[in-house]
Structure 1
Amino acid sequence: MPIHSLIENTLHIISKISYSRQGYLLQLNDHGYEVLNIWGGRDTDFTKLNDLIFKLFKAGGFDTEKFSELPSVPEFLKERFAASFFIKDLIFFSERNLFIYILLFSDYPDEFKEETKNRILPVLSILSHQLKIFIEQRPDFNQNRTENKYDSQQDNKTLDEWENKFKLLVNTSPDLIFILDSSGKFILTNDAVKSYLDYQPDELKGKYFLDFINVKDSPSINLSLNKVLSDKKPLKFNASLITKYGQSFPFEISCNTIFSNNKILGLLAVGRDLSDKQRYETELQKLKPKLTEVNRLLKIERARTSPQKSVVEELNRLKYDFISGISHEFRTTLASIIGFSETIVSDPDLAESMKEEFMKVIMSEGKRLAKLINYFLDASDQDKELVIINKTNFGLQRLIQDAINANSELASYKNIKINFEHPEEEVFIEADKDSLSQVVTALINNAVRFTDELGRVKIIVNNFVREVEIIISDTGIGIPEVDQPYIFQRFFKVSRGVSDIPSTGVGLVFVKQIIDLHKGLITVQSEAGSGTTFLVKLPKRSKIEKNEVNFE
């Protein structure tokens, strides 16, 4: 039976066991491509795909395992109505740079997985042998061999000259240096191969370079070598060579083509030992945690050398904030007193009822100022730690309304609307009315001060069986999350990002201490830029064990 008939029978078997609706054999060389055999279609159906394969071939080769992942391949498969695709190189003639590939197309998704490949690979091996015989029997193949015989003799003579010159130089180099012919076989290596790979130079002569590469790296190394041959430019790549005793040795290989009369004879390569570099990198990775630990310890030691400086700076900051806070509290109260007093003095025609109302405000603010002074003196006096409070029974709504009235002028100036929601019936609690009034006034004042114009402040009173709940919420600038755990600490100043709004922790420290004294609870929920909500819970009947509050 003629060899081409055997090939057709083998292809028929492959199409059956792989469930391939279409397939063909493709021959590639430097001059172009040719479809040798096809079934299930015409040559022109695959022109677009063949052009892509030839372009990749000329660019330095391609990995058949990853070919189907190229962006244009799935699009082509859709055009051919194929669900899966397979490509495999069958034969390679190095002296002609001639490849033959088989391409298969199936209607079944995921058809060419490992199970199918294992079925067809033995048959592909038979097909490869048949094709080798078929190609070598072709008249044009033998004719070209005869024509190239003289050229081959000349090439060998040139390589021999290279070998003699090469030996004079390379044996003095500590790097691995070798020459490969155009088929990828060793022609010559320097003596460094003995120390690196445990081979004698003559042992490698005539053997394929790829046989000494890790199997998993062979496809990528083969692509790199083909790229050097096609581009005719130097190239560097990393490769692990296998020693005589099966160990892996890492190299950085730099290779370039050898020319004679504009014809490529082979490759000259230099392998630089990377084992020391990899060992140093491994050691460096081990040292990184230790270096991190040393840097952390150094930071701790540096912090220890300047604790006094940090304490002094913090005390100076607290002193400044404390004085700034006191000044603000005094200035706010004095502004009201002076403003109403000037109005009375400057306007002799002011109605008596209005004068009487203004005098009440002046008296109220004067008393508030006196209380503030007493609170600050008590808080700063080291020898006087306790402040006496008095319990009474009073209506909570009326107290809150008075606090709203005290802040109404500032709210009106900023066009801020204050809403007050409360039960219809008065809620009575037993507590210190004066200190609780200061608490509510301070919280409302903060809400108004730190809310922009046209904002809103909302106050809600919820009456429960044993306790009362006061919610004071605003749409102001908010409190940063990092500052919220510290706002009730003495002298702490919130980092609000604005400097024109006075702010001090003194008021909130006082608020927290008074609420704690009443066995109550105060919490805050806030988000920078979205407002703040203070929640105060107080028992209706006071359980104060001692009528005193500790400011220390």
Structure 2
Amino acid sequence: MIFFTTGAGVSSADSISEALIRAARSGRSIKTGAGLGNTFNRVDTEGNHMGEPPATTDELLTAVLRTFPDIGFVLDEKGTYVEVLAGPETESLGYEDPEALEGERIPDLLPAETATRFMNVISDAIRTGQFQTIRYPLEVVEGRRWFEARVAPIETSADREHVVWISRDITDLRNELETQARTADAVVQTIDDVFYLVDPDGSLHRWNDRLTAVTGYTDAEIADMHVASLFAETDADAVETYLETVFQTGAATTEGTIESADGDRIPFSFRTHAFEHPELGEVACGIGRDITDQRAHERTLERRSHQLRLLNRLLRHDVRNDLTTIRGGIEHLRAENDDHDDVLARLERATEHIVELTETAGRLADRIDAEEEPQLAAVDLRPIVEAAIDEAREHYPEATIDCRDLPAVAVRADDLLDAVVSNLLDNAIRHNDCQEPTVTVSVEQQAATVTLGVADDGPGLSDTQKERLFESDATSGQAPETGMGLYLVDLLIDRYDGTITVTDNEPTGAVFRVELPRA
């Protein structure tokens, strides 16, 4: 396949236009085609030159005119038509007799406003020596059509200065773009959010009806306002700063309060993106969403959170006071009569367990309330496990706790990690039906994680119990079947981005495995 090009590579209609402009600028006659064959080079699909064209110059020009989708003119600095180039497909877009234009002047043929625009473009092309572009409508044989023209100065030795003017009919393209714009406008008008198009100076170029409904201003009033004027006075500076950030970074989000013409204040969240508009230049479009209900919900949550914090503190205070009373009663009974030391010891362990649970739950609740994200750090696991084992042995002297060699390894956690280990040990012993329970503790290292294992020889758990072990109904407030201890373990492990699994031990019992990220 052979293509006409203005250099290396395959050309299109634009390349033909370029070639015609080059021919005109070099002083060749476009109408007769003199020397035009030298303007085009023959290349194959791989860009290799193939020698002289097989057609004569006149044949080449005829072929070009058949495929040329544009209308071409050579004009002098006074707007006089010197030459006209139009193919069979484009003649009807100009005048009935295009050659009759030769010798005529633009100011004499076109409306004054259009003629002035054309003459300014010709003047700019000659003055700067650079290509100029212009889009314009014209009433032609086929009716009103839109054109886009490229205008270039011609370098000749003649007394007069000339330009070559190549116009392309863009009516269909413009109509398609207008259809797309109407479709986009329909979409914008149907959304419940505020839509806006704003430039770096804060001028609004487009908005939907939602903005006028929210602000109470008319379209004419909004067109004359700086975008910051739509906001409460206290937010005006922040709006301007936000706009600067959008154009500096390309996109940003914020919240602000719109103040309507009637003085109503409405909180909104905004998401805005900057881009290059083909006509407006640098602009930003965005969406604003009314967050009145969201703010009310946040206030409700904060009020409830405050109430729960207060309830937590009161509960911890009252539980501690009552447990102190129980402890005093146990000590009194032990001093009066030592016949029931075993019973008193179990009561004492139960009260201590309740104290530990309430303290751990309180610490965790305070931590969650104060933090947006958990503040985790490297925590050495071995001393925590050793301390928990010592405490369990003291509380449960009848139990045997086997501790294999513990490696020195750190995990990502915080100062609540001790509650995980102690509650796992407590669960393994307290729910054991053996007179002398045996518990085995292990720590295994992997490349990215550490696994803490706690195995017991108790009755074990059914498959159904394993599945529901850590379930809780947050809506009804129903606690998990295993009680608060393992529930706290599950909460803390989730806080540390870890996992916990339960499997059967051999020959009886259960094995709890906690996997935590290594620090």
TM-score clears 0.5:
no
Greater relative contact order (Cα 8 A, min sep 6): structure 1 or 2? 1
Q: TM-score, normalised by structure 1?
A: 0.28
Decide which structure has the larger Cα Rg and report it. 1
